[in-house]
Amino acid sequence: MASDFNALKYLDKLTVLFYALLVVFGCMNIYSASITPDQASIFDVSCHSGMQIVWVVFSIIVAIVILFFDDNFFNQFAPILYGAMILILIATIFLSRDINGSRSWLSFGSFSIQPAEFAKFVTALALARYVGRQGFWIHTLSDYAKAVAIIILPMLIIVFQKETGTALVFASFVLLLYREGMTGLVPLLGFLAVFVFVVTVRLADDFLFGIAGTPAGIGYSLITVFFIQIVFLLHFRRDAFNALILSGVFLFVVVVSVLINLFLVQFNIVYVLLAINFASAIYLLVLSFFRWQRTYWLIALFVVLSTGYVFSSGYIFESILQPHQQKRIKVNLGMVDDPKGIGYNTRQAAIAIGSGRLFGKGYLNGTQTRLKYVPEQHTDFIFCTVGEEWGFVGCFFLITVYTLLMWRIIVMAERAESHFVRAYAYGVLGIFAFHFFVNIGMVIGIVPVIGIPLPFISYGGSSFLGFTCMLAVLLKLDTKREERLKGKLDTFLN
């Protein structure tokens, strides 16, 4: 550990300020959301607000200790920390008690901790260590595979713990890889995968072009895959001739198939769309062979894999997702209305936030909050309390502070002197941004409820400590740059 206090001296003051504002605001809202008639004060450790303050104090102590570590420690020991965390995650599956269907908590008497919350932080370090090494080149298949493996391994283990929401957070590391040179095609394909899944599920019971027996979801998804390959042909190969040929054949065959269905005999047009997609893939493979252009067979591979994904989306939804997860998605997509069941939380959250209007009902005066209409309001749905008691102004304040915190993280990332620090900063940014957008999104009903906390605002010791450690390490790594700059300035002046 360092023997001086330079780490404290060169801290990014604005980041610390935004952190402090969120912590104080969070404790106040946890107190309001969980207060009971016999609670003595906000500091009563027998209640949620008091316990959160205990975690805050403990987390700040841990953060201060982190600031005195040598800045090379996190880079050098990242692989060891990652390996240890993987073992702990695996052990948790077998050692934890079943809590609401989840096996993700390690209990030590009355004290419990969730290792998955720390896995995000450790994975960010390990991934930053890997992409920050000399010779790393994100455009090679080997480096892609290894980087993805670092992300996927803890993600899969957490899925086995039945913590799907927490596992999804690991997808946020795409932001880190994108900043380090990953092509924008990967995030685009991720968006398309979500789009195809939603369309396939949402329109599963509708008919394409009104033709009975032709599922609209699969049909529109196959059409999307076909036209994406046309876009790829135009963008990557500038091959307008073959793009025009394929588009013409596609339109001709589809129009003829629709006319036959309308006037002669009805059949499932999905088979026609499937045949067209595979025929176009074969055509592109032939082009690749004769022109010796790898891009053609890569587009063909995209068509084949995407077509397979379209047909597997229904299986994923019906057989892999849990019944309650299926219902949450259906509620969000407007497929079912369940105001007293799965949709209850979201409905009550909307009522609470809407009733706050511009300035809110006043601190500790929220009727939805005080009467406990929204379950788990002190944890995942804490934003309801903000909306009801502080109104639009309070929500705007919270969103502004979060935005400014993420802006400071970007500033620290872009002024970093090493790839490791920059990559780690973007890993932290991705995690914070994912939690921020998804938590608020699920509270206001635009994202399925997946159960992840709002950093520094929601109640939870493990998550609060994990987020604090994450930020503390970044602040520590940033102080070394400031310290070196100050040393260079002193040398120049002297």
pLDDT digits (tens, 9 = 90+) for 370-426: 777 887 788 889 999 999 999 999 999 999 999 999 999 999 999 988 899 999 999
- Reported confidence tier of residue 135, pLDDT bands at 50, 70, 90: low
User: Residue 215's beta-bridge partner residues?
Assistant: 207
Q: Is the pLDDT of residue 268 over 50?
A: yes
pLDDT in tens, 276-291: 999 999 999 998 888 7
Instruction: Identify whether the C-beta of residue 221 lies closer than 8 Å to the C-beta of residue 199.
Output: yes
Q: Is the pLDDT of residue 109 over 90?
A: no
Q: Is the pLDDT of residue 1 over 50?
A: no
Q: Is the pLDDT of residue 490 over 70?
A: no
Output the pLDDT for position 223: 93
- pLDDT averaged over every residue in the chain: 87
Joined tokens for residue 350: 């909307």
pLDDT in tens, 164-218: 889 999 999 999 998 888 877 878 888 888 888 988 888 888 888 777 778 888 9
Distances (CA, A) of 95 to 92, 106, 108: 5, 7, 11
Give the sign of the dihedral formed by CA 175, CA 176, CA 177, CA 180: positive
* Non-local CB neighbours of 437 within 8 Å, separated by 6+ positions: 447
* Non-local CB neighbours of 115 within 8 Å, separated by 6+ positions: 85, 88, 89, 92, 104, 106, 462
Range with the lowest mean pLDDT among 32-46, 330-344, 393-407, 441-455? 330-344
Q: Is the pLDDT of residue 491 over 60?
A: no
Q: Is the pLDDT of residue 144 over 50?
A: yes
Instruction: Identify whether the C-beta of residue 275 lies closer than 8 Å to the C-beta of residue 221.
Output: no
Residue type, 93: I
Phi, psi of 212 (to 5 degrees): -60, 140
Output the pLDDT for position 492: 45
Output the pLDDT for position 191: 86
pLDDT in tens, 225-264: 999 999 999 988 888 998 999 999 999 999 998 898 888 8
The residue ranking higher by pLDDT, 40 or 54, is 54
Q: Is the pLDDT of residue 3 over 50?
A: no
- Reported confidence tier of residue 77, pLDDT bands at 50, 70, 90: very high
460 phi-psi bin (left φ>0, alpha ψ -120 to 50, beta other): left
What secondary structure letter does DSSP report for 5? S
Output the pLDDT for position 441: 92
Range with the lowest mean pLDDT among 55-59, 206-210, 340-344? 340-344
The residue ranking higher by pLDDT, 473 or 349, is 473
Q: 106-108 and 111-113: which strand pairing?
A: antiparallel
338 phi-psi bin (left φ>0, alpha ψ -120 to 50, beta other): beta
Instruction: Identify whether the C-beta of residue 401 lies closer than 8 Å to the C-beta of residue 481.
Output: no
- Reported confidence tier of residue 6, pLDDT bands at 50, 70, 90: low
Instruction: Identify whether the C-beta of residue 401 lies closer than 8 Å to the C-beta of residue 18.
Output: yes
- Reported confidence tier of residue 494, pLDDT bands at 50, 70, 90: low
Q: What percent of the chain stands above pLDDT 70?
A: 94
Helix ranges restricted to H, 10-77 = 13-34, 48-67, 73-76
Mean pLDDT of 343-372: 86
Output the pLDDT for position 398: 96
Joined tokens for residue 430: 């991705």
Output the pLDDT for position 333: 78
Q: List the one residue out of 78, 178, 161 whose CA is nearest residue 122.
A: 78
Scanning the structure block, which residue is given the tokens 């980041």? 15
Q: Is the pLDDT of residue 485 over 70?
A: no
Cβ burial, residue 242 (10 Å; 0-12/13-18/19+): middle
For 386-414, letters b (16+ CB in 10 Å) and e give bbbbbbeebbeebeebbeebbebbeebbe
Output the pLDDT for position 386: 94
Output the pLDDT for position 482: 57
pLDDT in tens, 306-341: 999 998 888 888 877 777 778 878 877 777 776 676
Output the pLDDT for position 453: 93
- DSSP calls for 401-436: HHHHHHHHHHHHHHT-SSHHHHHHHHHHHHHHHHHH
Output the pLDDT for position 5: 57
Angle between helices 48-67 and 461-493 (to 10 degrees): 30
